[in-house]
């Protein structure tokens, strides 16, 4: 088996896939943990996003642990995250403008923490997920005002 002297081991349901993604992107679990912590440090200080999170998250440690698992699953296919992000976001008081701000902070942090290939990798995934969460929020709002659910 190929052994990379620099990469830290990471728990994964698909170890070969995860190892290949780590080699390709330069990402590892420690880097994702740094990304998550620095990103939410900025989010919490952000005048617009900070209060939205503060109203819902009192204990940050479990959220940060979950987000590192989420990014391991999304970026390195570890399969470690088990949750339902769509449900958790469906009723948030946010529009696409909030997601754009979220993405500005995320892109900036990824650029500071990850090598260029790794930054492109996580940013592309964040952009895709932000769009799909925003669609889910718009759908939930439409359903609440009695729109046609299947349209
Ligand atoms: C305006 C943008 C966003 C806001 C205000 C927001 C807010 C929140 C809040 C308040 C929670 C905690 C929910 C709870 O525990 O009840 C949460 C959880 C989470 N968020 Fe976001 N979020 C945003 C964007 C995103 C994006 C773009 C992603 C992914 C790329 C994301 C991924 C997650 C995940 C994975 C969780 C954990 C869900 C679980 O409990 O399994 N969020 N978010």
Atom of ligand 1 nearest to the CA of 81: 41
pLDDT of res. 144: 81
- C-alpha distances (whole Å) from 69 to each of 32, 66, 80, 121 are 9, 5, 6, 16
Q: Which two tokens stand for residue 74?
A: 């999304």
Instruction: State pLDDT tens for residues 91-129.
Output: 999 999 999 999 999 999 999 999 999 999 999 999 999
Q: Residue 109 in contact with residue 38, Cβ under 8 Å? A: yes
Q: Check residues 145 and 40 and name the one with the higher pLDDT.
A: 40
C-alpha 142 – ligand 1 centre gap (Å): 20
Examine the pLDDT at 2 and tell me if it is beyond 60.
no
Q: How wide is the angle at C-alpha 144 spanned by C-alphas 59 and 63, nearest 5°?
A: 15
Residue whose CA lies nearest to ligand 1 atom number 27: 130
- Mean pLDDT of the residues in the chain: 92
pLDDT of res. 146: 75
Q: Which residues line the pocket of ligand 1, CB cutoff 6 A?
A: 49, 52-53, 56-57, 66, 70, 83, 85, 88-89, 92, 94, 98-99, 102, 126, 129-130, 133
Instruction: State pLDDT tens for residues 11-67.
Output: 899 999 999 999 999 999 999 999 999 999 999 999 999 999 999 999 999 999 999
Q: Residue 75 in contact with residue 110, Cβ under 8 Å? A: no
- Residue 6's pLDDT band (boundaries 50, 70, 90)? low
Please tell me the distance from the alpha carbon of residue 98 to that of residue 17, in angstroms, as a whole number. 33
C-alpha 63 – ligand 1 centre gap (Å): 9
pLDDT of res. 148: 61
C-alpha 3 – ligand 1 centre gap (Å): 35
């Amino acid at each position: 088996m190929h052994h990379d002297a620099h990469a830290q081991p990471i728990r994964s349901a698909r170890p070969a896939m995860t190892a290949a993604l780590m080699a390709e992107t330069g990402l590892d679990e420690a880097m994702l943990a740094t990304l998550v912590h620095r990103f939410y440090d900025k989010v919490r200080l952000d005048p617009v996003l900070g209060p939205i999170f503060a109203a819902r998250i009192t204990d940050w440690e479990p959220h940060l642990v979950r987000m590192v698992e989420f990014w391991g699953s999304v970026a390195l296919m570890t399969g470690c995250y088990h949750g339902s992000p769509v449900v958790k976001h469906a009723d948030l008081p946010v529009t696409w403008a909030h997601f754009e701000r979220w993405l500005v902070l995320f892109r900036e942090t990824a650029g500071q923490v990850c090598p260029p290939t790794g930054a492109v990798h996580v940013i592309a995934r964040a952009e895709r997920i932000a769009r799909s969460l925003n669609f889910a929020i718009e759908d939930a709002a439409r359903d609440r005002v009695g729109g046609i659910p299947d349209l």
